[in-house]
Amino acid sequence: MFTPLTVALAVAALALAVWCGWAAYRDQPTKDWHFIGMAVVSLLALAQLVVGIVRLTGGGEPAEGTVIFVAYLAAVAACVPVVGLISLTERTRWGSLTVAAGAVVLAVLQARLHEIWGGGRGA
């Protein structure tokens, strides 16, 4: 995988988690600017999806198997949009907390995705 993108996505996800966690702490739902942050993180996740697919089609092979790698790539790409939609239906602090939790999950998925690829072996 492309390690700088993986790190950037994990850091952006953690920043989104802190930001939405702060909103939940202040008893606020997600606002428009939170959705802008979610869009940025989602674009990074889509970029990673493209890079991952290009690496696979270019002959790269994950250390722990292609099926697991593709499943994690799909989960990374879907994580923030799914919690964003949930936060739209839950217009309370719990919507913000859901996004914060989803962003933390995304950061953890990044670490695992890096590990599945081989810890930078193919970078």
| Residues 20 and 99 sit within 8 Å (Cβ to Cβ) | yes
Longest dimension (CA), the chain: 49
State residue 105 phi and psi, 5-degree precision. -60, -40
The per-residue pLDDT for range 3-62, each reduced to its tens digit, is 899 999 999 999 999 999 999 999 999 999 999 999 999 999 999 999 999 988 888 888
Tokens 């292609």 found at: 66
Cα–Cα distance between 40 and 22 in angstroms, integer? Answer: 18
The per-residue pLDDT for range 67-118, each reduced to its tens digit, is 999 999 999 999 999 999 999 998 999 999 999 999 999 999 998 988 888 8
| Residues 93 and 24 sit within 8 Å (Cβ to Cβ) | yes
| Residues 43 and 89 sit within 8 Å (Cβ to Cβ) | no
